[in-house]
Structure 1
Amino acid sequence: MNRNNSSEYRYDIDGLRAIAVTSVVIFHLFHNALSRGFLGVDIFFVISGFLISGIILKDIQKGRFTLLNFYERRIRRLMPALLFVLAFTIIASGFILLPADLEGFGKSIIASIFFVANIYFWRDTDYFSRAAEFKPLLHLWSLGVEEQFYIFFPIILVLLYRRRTVLVPTIWFLTIGSLSANIWLLTIGGAAPAFYLLPTRAWELGAGVLITLHGQATLSPRAGMLARGGALLLLVGGLFYHGPWPWWLPVALPVVAGTAVLIWASAPIATATGQLLALRPINLVGQISYSLYLWHWPLIVLAKYYLVRDLTFSEAALVGLAAVAAAFFSWKYVEQPFRTRALSFRKVAKFSASGAAIALVAAFVVLITNGLPSRLSAEAASINRSVDTHYRCPVSQLFRFGASRACDLTLDGQDINAAEVVLLGNSHAQMYAPIIEKLLRKHKVAGALVPINGCLPTVSINISTECIDAARANLDAVNQLPELRTVIVALNWPLEGLVGSNGRPVDTSRVEALTDAVHDLASQLGHRRVIVVGPIAEPDLDIASVLSRQIAFGVEPRAATSVAAEPFRAKFATVFERIGNRDGIRLVRPDLYQCTRTRCYFVKDGVGLFSDSNHLAQPALKFFAPAFEGILDHEVAAPAPPPDGHGGT
């Protein structure tokens, strides 16, 4: 929209865009300075809902709306700058990214071109994980959400426009329903889909739509001042606040509410808020915000990836300035020319189609060649193959159970009540699932995975009281399974940050507290056999990613590929001595296959054992499978124990 058209230009909207993109960039460059700066995307969503609904309704009222014209505008607005950034990122990534990361990048190109990046990254990456920091196109998840919204929303408006008594309640219903779905997913451990997917993000876009439908506020000067002041407080407070927050409530709620009220109340130029948002530097940042959002993340990722460390303050500032410069160039020489009607849509469409086709060809080349491993030394390529490969249950195999969801390992579509074996734990149970599944299929035994990611499976102590409640719900559900005879308990073994059922911190300076909690869990599983998977030595850094990049880029000193075994064994001596000797509990010792008498290894025979800082990599499971085979072959294949005891060991 042209700034010179004062009758239409909303300087306060560009001011809000500036706040949004600046928050996101600061969060990614200087995380500690604005720990909730990622909520800038939520500001964008509200703005998009408001602007898009206004454009569509205005065209409908004038009798000139067509889906073809609507999507022409969207293509002009989004595709040229996106393809420009993609071209740069593809070339740079081809030189910098190692095979495993380049393959993931290739998949993300395809997802981004078809505007389903949010769905791809939902299954691939936790947005807040360390692995996410090396995904150059991760930020395009938000474009996926918006483009999916653009597919469905215009149809709803066109169908219901002449039935306003139906239209407004429908949008309210969909908005409240989306917020409710978001909250519901948070309560059952679905934070990832709640974050990434349109159905649980639509409430933010819906907030903007509702402003358009209800119209701008007509407020007295005093009421307007109070509304804008309260809105700014919600907006800024939501971005900076990082204290206690209800775990089931979306953290974006204050920011979304503040943005919506600020747009609704408007900000006349005569007001202090209006003067602030209308400042030329702020408005300029707002105008280049789309390009700045596109450029900043690939530049940050590729710089950190190559340096194999976090950026210093001065390096981060330089990357930020480079992003602003690239964004200004992109806005002036790519966005602006393609948005004007002087350039025919035929040319725009040809450019967009050609650019997308070239990007897709590049993606397929990367995938067909397995990430072009010939560019690297065999050592770096081999270790890099482990990056981010730990097992995640496919969505198609998940079903509602206990506190959240369970995974069908060998039920093969049967009801959960048919499960004879349950793998119970958190992500550290999930990472062993391929080994367990193979052994269950060998003996033709029905089994399921019951994970509680982010928590422990123990019910006497845990990460939080909410985790204790969730673990209790899972335990109760497991105990109701009529055919269950064996439970395999696997977890990480944290010795800090645990609390009891009263919410008070537990002294876990000694491992006895957690060992007793595992014993307590086993005792509450009734007559079932219990197999506990013991701890392993963890590298505490993304060893596969860091080490492979250090080798590839000649960075010294390199990350250690092993640690002394004695401190690890001393730390968990209680587990090894007491778990395995308790009647009715068998202990699996993966550490015996990781450690020699003197060293515990993070790389073995050129294979990275860990996919990140603490989860076993898929290529490494072959080394750990023997730890399970003897015990599981005996326990899983044996007849069910008598109901009046645990059964023998």
Structure 2
Amino acid sequence: MIRRYLPEIDTLRAIAVTLVVLFHAYPGFVPAGFLGVDIFFVISGYVISRAYLFPVLERRTTLADFYSSRFRRLAPALFLTVMLTALASFVLLKPVDLAIFGQSLLLQPFYLQNFSFWLGGDALTPPLANPLLNTWNLAVEEQFYLLLAGLCLLTTTRRQFFWPTLIGAAALSFVFYLVFGTMGVSPHSAFFLLPGRFWQLALGVLVFCLVRKIREAPQPPRPILSIIAVGAIILAPLVPAYPGPLAVTVKTLVACLATAGALALFELDREHYAVLRVRAIRYVGKISYALYLWHWPLLSLAVAVQGRLLTPVEATLALVVAAGLASLTYHLVEMPIRMRRMIRNRRVLLGSFLVASAAILATAMAILFTSGAFR
């Protein structure tokens, strides 16, 4: 039987967001902390399959219900962060930087901002240049959901084609990742575009499919295997390796496969060591989405104000503020809307989205038409 909630998944989220945040705040401390994003993609694919994919495939729920739930989960915190970041950027950024910011702001409501960053240059230079750069992966995730929904619709009457098509697409995506990323044809494309990331999200989907097939196995795995898998996730970004794209690829594969293995073991095991359910760690996992959204704009705008990279003390202060904002966002925005304590009606939710989108688009157009100098 598939359990409704796995607390260990929040532990994985906590590890992933900690790696990303430390990488952005102290890049020399965890130089491979970017693997946290790869871990997030695998988790997302798994969670989506666990909660929505099979009910949709088996017609126990609809795609409209799926997108409504995803919107309630992801959009409120994102739009709050984007609007407040836009306001702060308007006040703090120079016109030339504000104009660049406007390009990515314009695409936020359409979840196409990853194309803006793809066209805009290297992912990490200049460092912390765009306060919304961290939203690229949210666009990739939404694009994956659209493709998955399209696959569901195309195979409505021929369900036997769904899994071979998904596996084939994942294989092609991995080839794209190897050719454009590892072999250096266009690392920028492998980083920012869905074809280079599809395999990671699909890995989560396929692992849950496998778990669903074998969950009634008479001999469940031993809990120690879960500890080993989580340990591999933590160690992968920390183990020194020779620089170069091949080393990055190996680390990425280790992190993604270890995440997939840990998720499967969490589902199949009925007993876990308490270390995988520490309440404080799980809380970081619960607020991980909001923490991911807040930490980058704060670091980026602080760099813009200072005109230099932050000292460790300044970066730590920014992260403390980000954690506080993430906690408030989780309790006052995310959960009330997600649990329908606020905005219960779907039409009201859609109306709120359209109003927020219009405000964001109007701001972006004003910035772009005046090249960031209209203030």
Return the letter of the residue paired with 1:341.
R
Given the alignment, which residue of 73, 76, 86 partners 1:77?
73
Partner Cα separation in structure 1 for residue 157 and residue 279 of structure 2: 40
> 1:132 Cα shift?
4.1
Tell me what 1:281 maps to. 280
Partner Cα separation in structure 2 for residue 92 and residue 362 of structure 1: 12
Matches within 5 A, 1:285-434: 285-342=284-341, 343-372=344-373
Deviations, residues 58-90 of structure 1 (Å, cap 9, x unaligned) = 423663332222221122112211111112111
Given the alignment, which residue of 18, 34, 38 partners 1:38?
34
Structure 2 length as normaliser, TM-score? Answer: 0.91
Q: CA RMSD in A?
A: 2.3
Tell me what 1:260 maps to. 260
Tell me what 1:167 maps to. 162
Contact 2:57/2:152 (8 A) holds in 1? no
Tell me what 1:239 maps to. 237
- Rate the CA distance shift 1:283–1:191 in 2: closer, same or farther, 3 A: same
> 1:281 Cα shift?
0.9
- Rate the CA distance shift 1:297–1:246 in 2: closer, same or farther, 3 A: closer
Return the letter of the residue paired with 1:236.
I
Q: What secondary structure is seen at the aligned counterpart in 2 of 1:266?
A: helix
Return the letter of the residue paired with 1:359.
I
5+ unaligned residues in a row in structure 1: which ranges?
1-5, 376-649
Partner Cα separation in structure 1 for residue 225 and residue 164 of structure 2: 24
Tell me what 1:68 maps to. 64
Partner Cα separation in structure 1 for residue 160 and residue 346 of structure 2: 37
Query: Within the alignment, does 1:115 sit opposite 2:111 as a pair?
Result: yes
Partner Cα separation in structure 2 for residue 194 and residue 185 of structure 1: 6
Query: Within the alignment, does 1:92 sit opposite 2:88 as a pair?
Result: yes
Q: What secondary structure is seen at the aligned counterpart in 1 of 2:355?
A: helix
- Rate the CA distance shift 1:305–1:221 in 2: closer, same or farther, 3 A: farther
> 1:221 Cα shift?
7.6
Contact 1:269/1:278 (8 A) holds in 2? no
- Rate the CA distance shift 1:269–1:304 in 2: closer, same or farther, 3 A: farther
Partner Cα separation in structure 2 for residue 309 and residue 316 of structure 1: 12
Larger radius of gyration: 1
Given the alignment, which residue of 16, 19, 23 partners 2:19?
23
Partner Cα separation in structure 2 for residue 227 and residue 220 of structure 1: 17
- Rate the CA distance shift 1:140–1:161 in 2: closer, same or farther, 3 A: same
Partner Cα separation in structure 2 for residue 280 and residue 90 of structure 1: 34
Tell me what 1:196 maps to. 192
Higher RCO (Cα < 8 Å, 6 or more apart): 2
Deviations, residues 133-169 of structure 1 (Å, cap 9, x unaligned) = 1210000100110010011102213443675543333
Larger displacement relative to structure 2 (34-43 or 168-177): 168-177
> 1:220 Cα shift?
8.2
Give the length in aligned residue pairs: 366
Return the letter of the residue paired with 1:258.
A
- Rate the CA distance shift 1:307–1:269 in 2: closer, same or farther, 3 A: farther
Contact 2:200/2:256 (8 A) holds in 1? yes
Identity %: 35
Partner Cα separation in structure 2 for residue 134 and residue 168 of structure 1: 41
Return the letter of the residue paired with 1:141.
W
Contact 2:223/2:271 (8 A) holds in 1? no
- Structure 1 runs of 4+ aligned residues shifted over 4 Å read 161-165, 216-223
Partner Cα separation in structure 2 for residue 25 and residue 57 of structure 1: 30
Deviations, residues 407-450 of structure 1 (Å, cap 9, x unaligned) = xxxxxxxxxxxxxxxxxxxxxxxxxxxxxxxxxxxxxxxxxxxx
Return the letter of the residue paired with 2:333.
V
Return the letter of the residue paired with 1:280.
R
Q: Which has the higher helix share?
A: 2
Partner Cα separation in structure 2 for residue 161 and residue 260 of structure 1: 27
Partner Cα separation in structure 1 for residue 145 and residue 19 of structure 2: 25
Contact 1:132/1:138 (8 A) holds in 2? no
Tell me what 1:534 maps to. none
Deviations, residues 604-623 of structure 1 (Å, cap 9, x unaligned) = xxxxxxxxxxxxxxxxxxxx
Q: What secondary structure is seen at the aligned counterpart in 1 of 2:237?
A: helix
Return the letter of the residue paired with 1:352.
F
5+ unaligned residues in a row in structure 2: which ranges?
none
> 1:246 Cα shift?
6.2
Deviations, residues 261-288 of structure 1 (Å, cap 9, x unaligned) = 000111747333xx22311111111111
Q: Which has the higher strand share?
A: 1
Given the alignment, which residue of 5, 8, 23 partners 2:4?
8
Contact 1:126/1:132 (8 A) holds in 2? no
Deviations, residues 549-594 of structure 1 (Å, cap 9, x unaligned) = xxxxxxxxxxxxxxxxxxxxxxxxxxxxxxxxxxxxxxxxxxxxxx
Partner Cα separation in structure 2 for residue 269 and residue 304 of structure 1: 47
